Copies of this chain bind each other. A is one copy, B any other.
Amino acid sequence: MPFSFTITNRDRSTKARTGTLKTPHGEIATPCFMPCGTKATVKTFTNDELKELGCEIILGNTYHLMLRPGANLVAEMGGLHKWINWDRPMLTDSGGFQVFSLKGLRKITEEGVTFKSHIDGSTHFLSPEEAIGIQEKLGADIMMAFDECPPHDADKEYTRKSMERTHRWLARCQKAQTRKDQTLFPIIQGGLHLDLREESAKACLDADPFGIAIGGVAVGEGKEEMWRVTDFVAPLLPESKPHYLMGIGEPDDLVRGVAAGIDMFDCVIPTRLARHGCFWNIDGVRTAIDKPEFAKDQNPLSSKCSCYACKNHSRSYIKHLMREKEILGARLLSIHNVNYLMQLMSEIRLSIANNTFTSLYDRFFKKSR
């Protein structure tokens, strides 16, 4: 099997650990943050720029890519890696999360989900077999199982039914997989119900996957609930497997997730914040570039940051660029934000190796732990 996961360091006081995740397209140092290349591009970036920031793995999005340009086209072009010219590891989601977000535009049966495209209203069908078929055509190193992510406020009965179907779908996903150079992560569901979460973790682990994901978090339930669930589920996962917490990306959440034993994170937040004119300051606090006091501020976005934006440009200039809707503004803020998370993960890995992770943690949570 062309995948392996080796734990290299363990923190003494938390569940944090560092590791090396080997894939057919290279190694990933964990814990890691994975920027989202939703439509086969991490918004505003070239691949070289991502590499310069230390990015070792990016995501692609099954739902968006199956609609445009279509999985067959990507396959004809040699797969996602070749088509976008990214030679490092990739992960594709299963499309489940997006499809289930299309409320009113989809119909769920045991077989799969019929849905209408948000682009042109055309009808499409996703099932475990289709989701794996598409992900095999895309060819990312890591595929995700086709799951249902129910609304966080669904009743327990629905959440249970949905979860059980997700487990049956997992078996169908595994059966549908034909390629040996890709690995398939199951996704733990169960909403805010800890007994369901425990049941789901067990069902996913029974499938003996290489790695495992916690899904259905950060879907509107609030941070407290999210952490109640994640702090409960994470310890149920075997130490030997990579643990992926889906859709998480605020700086403090990354730190907290690592403390809970999470190895992989993804989120659109760094580039989305950037396009909306926000950046993380030196304390990891969201800051809007359109503040009046930035108009004549010759300082960089963040005083200790070494990203291209901070080394070359002032808040004054970047504020102007964003006001004028200039692409360079979104680029500079995106570089800063992705770099912020990449540097944070690098610092986290180093602190775990040096056994100073606790003080890094305390910097974010002010000893409130």
List chain A positions with a Cβ less than 8 A from chain B. 39-41, 43-48, 68-69, 73, 76-77, 83-85, 295-296, 298, 308, 312-314, 316-317, 320-321, 323-324, 326-328, 330-331
Contacts and interface: CB of A to CB of B under 8 A. Distances in A.
Contacts of A316: 69, 73, 77, 83
A48 B330 CA distance: 17
B73 A296 contact: yes
10 contacts: A39-B324, A45-B328, A46-B331, A47-B312, A69-B320, A73-B296, A77-B314, A77-B317, A327-B331, A331-B331
Contacts of A83: 314, 316-317
Contacts of A324: 39, 41, 68
Contacts of A84: 313, 317
6 pairs of A and B residues whose beta carbons are closest in the complex? A44-B327, A39-B324, A41-B328, A41-B326, A69-B320, A85-B312
Contacts of A331: 44, 46, 327, 331
A225 B68 CA distance: 45
A324 B69 CA distance: 9
Given A41-B328, A83-B314, A295-B73, A46 B320 contact: no
A56 to B, nearest CB: 19
A191 to B, nearest CB: 33
A327 B326 contact: no
Given A85-B313, A308-B46, A296 B326 contact: no
Contacts of A327: 43-44, 327, 330-331
B46 A317 contact: no
A68 B323 contact: yes
Contacts of A312: 46-48, 85
Given A84-B317, A312-B47, A317-B83, A326 B39 contact: yes
A77 B313 CA distance: 12
